[in-house]
Chains A and B, each alone.
Chain A
Amino acid sequence: QKEVEQDPGPLSVPEGAIVSLNCTYSNSAFQYFMWYRQYSRKGPELLMYTYSSGNKEDGRFTAQVDKSSKYISLFIRDSQPSDSATYLCAGTGSARQLTFGSGTQLTVLP
């Protein structure tokens, strides 16, 4: 079993839709959870991170962590074609090693 499992996608949605991206993890030592966005042939860039359980909002993006169920979510409101990318979830504990999910490819259709 992978430490971080991510819905494989690909996912296509119309512009303006609400997008839900999800991951589960198995390592109870994970304390920090991150979402990275990766455009084609580019390096990933940090979108959001949260510490422990709870929600964090930044503009159209909301990250949610439920440590009791080991579930990580990213919601994108009013999705735009520029949001089309691969989204990677990641978790890390005190060892500072990021463990990534396999990524979900999102396409937002104009």
Chain B
Amino acid sequence: DGGITQSPKYLFRKEGQNVTLSCEQNLNHDAMYWYRQDPGQGLRLIYYSQIVNDFQKGDIAEGYSVSREKKESFPLTVTSAQKNPTAFYLCASMVPARGTTEAFFGQGTRLTVV
């Protein structure tokens, strides 16, 4: 079945640690996105990539980094510079073509700082 797989589902991070969240898709979509969801704040865009080896900052990129070496993969690293990383992280992919706007989401990774 085609879809987006995020792993792990739950992740615990100690203060000062970097952690990497995995996102893999087999939908052959060019565009991939990372969102952060906090209670009562909807989804906020962290980074997005329209094509392999290219990515742009979203609204809240500080303290995060990404790479896009393969079309299928868009991992997100939460660095120690992110002061409040506890949140629900969602990865999405989309076909950036006229006439279609459906973004497919993974099931999310819940990150907690301990």
Q: CB within 8 Å of B: which residues of A?
A: 4, 6, 8, 32, 34, 36, 41-46, 49, 88, 92, 96-103
Give A9's nearest chain B residue, CB to CB. B40
Interface secondary structure of B, over-half rule = strand
Q: Is the CB of B48 within 8 A of A42?
A: no
Q: How many residues of B contact A (CB 8 A)?
A: 28
Interface residues of B in 37-96 (CB under 8 A from A): 40-45, 48, 50, 58, 88, 90, 92, 94, 96
Q: Is the CB of B102 within 8 A of A102?
A: no
Partner of A96, one of B42, B94, B105: B94
A81 to B88, CA, bound (A): 25
Partner of B101, one of A4, A41, A49, A100: A49
Q: Is the CB of B107 within 8 A of A102?
A: no
Interface centre among B6, B48, B110 (most CB of A within 10 A): B48
Interface centre among B33, B41, B90, B103 (most CB of A within 10 A): B103
A8 to B50, CA, bound (A): 31
**A45: min CB distance to chain B, Å:** 7
Partner of A42, one of B44, B94, B108: B108
